[in-house]
A and B are shown apart, each in its own frame.
Chain A
Amino acid sequence: MTMLNPETAEVALDDEILTFLGPDGVLHRETTLGGDLFAMYRDMVLSRRVDTEAIALQRQGELGLWPSMLGQEGAQVGAGRALRSQDIAFPTYREHAVAWCRGVDPVQLLGLFRGTTLGGWNPRENNFNLYTLVIGAQTLHAVGYAMGIVRDGDVGTGDPDRDRAVLVFLGDGALSEGETNEAFVWAAAQNLPIVFFCQNNQWAISAPYSVQSRVPVAQRAQGFGFRGVRVDGNDVVASHAATVDALDRARSGKGPTLIEAITYRRNPHTTSDDDGRYRAAAMTEQWSALDPIVRLRTHLEDSGVDANFFAEVAAEEELLAERVRFGCRALAEPDPASPFLHTFATMPAELERQLAAHLEFVAAGEESSS
């Protein structure tokens, strides 16, 4: 059993951790990914650009807040690309690259942070649930969904188009929530088709991982009775391999897995946070050197990839950035009636009365200001 040193905040990468692609860009294990590495590179670069643009939009006052995922693209793209279309993902609020992999339009991600909506996309369209801001709450929804998959008979049939699993994201802070621990109990007791993907980015706002636990994240799974694996979260290949394996097990009826993807939140918690108050810049710089995109680019370059590929991705990135900037400002202002319309399936009489009064009030305000 591994015990972490409570005096040190950071979780070090060591030999127990599954690694394919090292920080030097060298593949240490065989992978069958081949051409998929190009797609992964593209996904990481483009989703990072969405993140970068969103931060800029917040600085310009276009977004109220943005939780940056900088540095976590390897873990997210690795996990996101391991999903099959029939699988479902339950994100936290920082899974921007997973959303990208699921085909959610990045502009739709911004509405929640611009204040035009509390959701932003149809969770059923891409099997990508709405962001959940209450830490750990989504782990139980994922458990329930997995119970539904079992009852639908979509586990262990051997049909690759039928068997399904749930991939639920959580952070290291969420491990301390009671609901997360209940989710682990339920998943284990019912041997559910679920994979808990914990990005241990080592910080829960200002609290380092040592505040949450004395044992590695993955080791927790043992106590609940299922597999825990540790993977280099800045290694997109390893993150992908571990998630593919865990999802395969889940779909085939072999039960849950907890994946600990060790990574680092290189930006503050959100654009409202000041991480200078609680951590040293040196550590962030150290993790910048372990960047998931740089190492894959190095690998691809060393493999003799045509420079045109990188130029094409860079050009695509610029188009995407422009589309995000424009799309954000073009997001429709919400209808003042919308909260009333969707509180209940059919509007109660009292709410109808309140809606009428509210619309009258809003209209009067518009008249007096025009």
Chain B
Amino acid sequence: MSTAIARALNDGLRSLLAEHEKVMLIGEDVGRLGGVFRVTDGLQQEFGEMRVVDSPLGEAGIVGSAIGLAMAGYRPVCEIQFDGFVFPAMNQIITQLAKYRHRSEGMVSLPVVIRIPFGGGIGAIEHHSESPEAYFAHTAGLRVVCPSSAQEAFDLIRLAVQSEDPVVFLEPKHNYWLKGDVDQHATPLPLGAAKVVRPGHDLTLVTYGALVPTALTVADEAALDGRSVEVIDLRSLSPIDDATILASVERTGRLVVAHEASSTAGLGAEIIARVQDALFYSMAAPGIRVTGYDTPYPASRLERDWLPGVDRMLDAIDRSFAY
């Protein structure tokens, strides 16, 4: 059955609420409205106001109270309404949530999930198209995951809520309505694993979230030029599944990493650094990044060319082969 990503998330959350009585949803407009993207649609009706909580308007409060709920034995799933509004909660996320297992010397874990619709390309106004993943990936103690398809959305939200670690769960809002088949009973890859979504042997293209379908198009286009591109869906932005990436680049010798987030100190830099450290002598070309620029996210009339798209990724592949 073909299901949209938003619906697959809804199905995943519903199954979790049904299976575990301690699972709760908490966020602005998640209950009565069902979330501004309807990801939590109908869940308050089904599970009640005590488990699907319309919070006061305050992101620090959402994450801070989720920490307290987790200390009390609950498994709260927070919703931050948009990527650009997570920053009031950063103190709670970085100084409290991420560190508590370490501070308590492993005695207390905080299984809190923070869902954040993220990324651009939707013609939105300011603060609604951000890619804040590097802040989270840089913070020790947080898992950061990002689904790219309906199946991954269903699998990853379930794995995230079942994880004992805090998880920042980035939802590719550009593709909320992208449909795909979902097998709710399939055994998923583990939470921290990357996935080869298209095998190839000439170049490895690593990306995540909304850019995965774009990368698959890029691989189709490159094939017309006789270049076989292997596409890896990162799935987990922290920790990074080095083994899957290294195994691929060891074979292809070429690496392109694409993300919407700005380039400097981003995931692309990290992945390329790890690959060159491990595979310096087996690489035919240096790793290349295709990213958003080091500017604030632009006004929406400019975003189409600002974002990494098919053409910029193909250009990067050309550059790689030019070495």
Contacts and interface: CB of A to CB of B under 8 A. Distances in A.
B104 A123 contact: yes
Nearest to B95: A134
A152 to B, nearest CB: 7
Interface in A128-147: 129-130, 132, 134, 137, 139-147
A342 B105 contact: yes
B91 A134 contact: yes
B101 A147 contact: no
B101 to A, nearest CB: 5
A344 B165 contact: yes
A51 B106 CA distance: 28
Interface in B87-107: 88, 91-92, 95-96, 99-107
A350 B64 CA distance: 29
Contacts of B240: 350
A137 B95 contact: yes
A140 B61 contact: yes
Contacts of B108: 123-124
A149 B72 contact: yes
Interface string B38-70: 000000000000110101101011011111111
A124 B100 CA distance: 13
B303 interface: no
Given A338-B105, A342-B105, A179 B92 contact: yes
Given A123-B108, A140-B92, A183 B102 contact: no
B49 to A, nearest CB: 11
Contacts of A129: 71
B105 A178 contact: no
A189 B65 CA distance: 13
Contact of B239 (A122, A139, A144, A348): A348
A119 B56 contact: no
B239 A142 contact: no
Nearest to B100: A130
Contacts of A305: none
B56 A145 contact: no
B172 interface: no
Nearest to A334: B105
Contacts of A122: 104, 107
B221 interface: no
Contacts of B71: 123, 129, 141, 144-145, 148
A137 B239 contact: no
Given A134-B95, A183-B64, A189-B56, A145 B69 contact: yes
A117 B107 CA distance: 13
B243 interface: yes
Interface of B: 24, 50-51, 53, 55-56, 58, 60-61, 63-74, 76, 88, 91-92, 95-96, 99-109, 140-141, 143, 163-165, 192, 239-240, 242-243, 274
12 contacts: A137-B92, A140-B63, A140-B64, A140-B67, A143-B61, A147-B65, A152-B72, A186-B61, A344-B141, A349-B242, A349-B243, A350-B240
**10 smallest beta-carbon distances between A and B, as pairs:** A144-B68, A140-B64, A148-B72, A348-B239, A144-B65, A345-B164, A182-B61, A145-B68, A141-B68, A342-B106
